[in-house]
Amino acid sequence: MNLIQIENLTHYYGNTKALENVNLTIKNSDFLAIIGPNGGGKSTLLKIILELLPLQKGKLIKNIKNSEVGYVPQNTNLNTDFPITALEVVLMGHIKTKRKLFGYAKEDIDCALSSLKQVGMEKFADKKIGDLSGGQRQRVFIARALCSNPKILMLDEPTASIDVQGQQDIYELLRELNKSIAIVVVSHDLSILLNYAKDVAHVNRSLVYHSLKDVQRNVTLGDDHLCEVELLSALGKTQMCCNHKH
């Protein structure tokens, strides 16, 4: 089932053309990785889907409600000094019933706790977000996005500046979630591309879509690891740069 369909989308910021003639369909079982250079238009694309930016040119067809699109924005690690608990972060994204004068309604708290449980963070509900590791904090933000029972979860560079174990935990979580919802993740991380994503969209103003069905999986990233260049050349694209030596 098609959840979201984008046709001939073009987007400008002033005179800067951020996206040009983009076509993309997101289906309910998709695990799509969006890659591309900085400034390539990845975040812009997500924000248009989320209707955080107006549609200027082209079509955006959504077969789901806005509330069914969960979103984890870029740079959620900012403001970690804010004195708020993991549970409160989740509650902020999830106030269905009227907020009481003091505290939250029990059903909201129960729902937030169940989202925390879904991401393996229920034990940390009362911890201040500043006391969590980067990976744990990101899982709390994922819990917040899960609160509205989304049919699609979109994450913008969720593992940037998170340690390797934390990244792995998040990928495994996304794989689990993908059993019931679509995942769209902006990432530069090869391991998500090689081991988790089902398709890749390369966005550099225009969008090129690749199915990863036929690409070799479970490549170990050791000394003779594949880099993004090699992955993309396997896909017929070679314009990404590689930031390590062979």
Written as six digits, the tokens of 108 are 């909201």
Residue closer to ligand ADP by CB (options 44, 191) is 44
Partner from ligand ADP, Mg ion, none contacting 36, C-beta within 5 to 8 A by type: ligand ADP
Partner from Mg ion, ligand ADP, none contacting 218, C-beta within 5 to 8 A by type: none
Q: DSSP assignment of 79-148, as one string? A: TTTS--BHHHHHHHT---SPPPSSS--HHHHHHHHHHHHHTT-GGGTTSBGGGS-HHHHHHHHHHHHHTT
Partner from Mg ion, ligand ADP, none contacting 41, C-beta within 5 to 8 A by type: ligand ADP
- Least CB distance to ligand ADP at residue 161 (A): 15
The closest alpha carbon to 181, from 135, 223, 146, belongs to: 146
Answer for the pair 9, 53: CB distance below 8 angstroms, yes or no: no
Told to check if 43 binds Mg ion by CB under 5 A, we report: yes
Q: What gap in Å lies between CA 51 and CA 58, rounded to an integer?
A: 13
Strands 2-13 and 182-186: unpaired
- Least CB distance to ligand ADP at residue 200 (A): 14
Within 8 A by CB and 6+ apart from 241, the residues are 37, 228, 229
x/- map, 23-42, Mg ion, by CB under 5 A: -------------------x
Q: Dihedral (C-alpha) 21, 27, 32, 35: value to the nearest 10 degrees?
A: 10
x/- map, 12-51, ligand ADP, by CB under 6 A: -x--x-x-----------------x-xxxxxxx-------
x/- map, 44-83, ligand ADP, by CB under 6 A: x---------------------------------------
Partner from ligand ADP, Mg ion, none contacting 38, C-beta within 5 to 8 A by type: ligand ADP
Partner from ligand ADP, Mg ion, none contacting 16, C-beta within 5 to 8 A by type: ligand ADP
The closest alpha carbon to 194, from 36, 45, 41, 31, belongs to: 31
Name the residues that contact ligand ADP, by CB under 6 A. Answer: 13, 16, 18, 36, 38-44
Name the residues that contact Mg ion, by CB under 5 A. Answer: 42-43
